[in-house]
Amino acid sequence: MRLALYQCPPQPLEVAGNLQRLQRFAHEAAGADLLVLPEMFLTGYNIGSDAVSTLAEARDGASAQRIAQIAQASGVAILYGYPERAADGQIYNAVQLIDANGHSLCNYRKSHLFGELDHGMFSAGNADLPVIEFKGWQLGLLICYDLEFPENTRRLALAGAELILVPTANMVPYDFVADVTVRARAYENQCYVAYANYCGEEGAIRYCGQSSIAAPNGSRIAHAGLGEELIVATLERQLLLDSRAATPYLADRRPELYGELNRR
């Protein structure tokens, strides 16, 4: 599978402008199967609760319909972050995957909220961690801080995920996560992990960039620097199979020893 990640500075509050640049970069990514964008790409991340409430949309809202058109025109599936207004009025930090035919394949809500920023804007998603089929690959979805809890990636791996997609808005001084944790999660769960981050600044936040696609053997098959960049890589199933054979963490687990973890 051919996978593209777009690392970019946020354009806060500029929904129309973000849709315009998505159209441009989706066409630049033509030939890839899937394009992954950062967390809250549609509106910007550090925008405050009032703006989030104003700009939140239903998962089938006007922006989703426009992104479906962009996906169809470019022939590239798109995973994007946005503020989702649910039917009950709750607002979630969400990502949605729309395929190249314009169909929504999955919508996921961030389950682990980061600090006052997230807690002041969003409700937490439930424990549902879907694994979906795409182009013959099993995909799992997480958002930023979710990745930093090893239980999340392990649950997805045990459910069959071969690739975990992580739109993120990771900032300085948490560069360690982009540099080390992403590769560690890929290696310990024997799957690919794609981490699409922002760069630049947004209010008081300075993003650390370093978007990457990590392979099951811990290597990075694509890696961005600190600036705006579109990175593309091909995921090889044989590498996945060879890595799982060489490092059989999932097969060698002893769940009977881990029960105490669920009681803490």
Active site residues: 39, 110, 144
* Six-digit token string for 111: 């389950």
CB atoms inside a 10 Å sphere around CB 213: 28
| Sheet containing strand 212-214, strands side by side | 131-134, 137-141, 163-167, 192-196, 212-214, 220-223
Distances (CA, A) of 123 to 79, 104, 114, 194: 21, 22, 11, 25
CA dist list (Å): 98 to 4, 161, 209 = 14, 18, 24
Assign 47 to helix, strand or coil.
coil
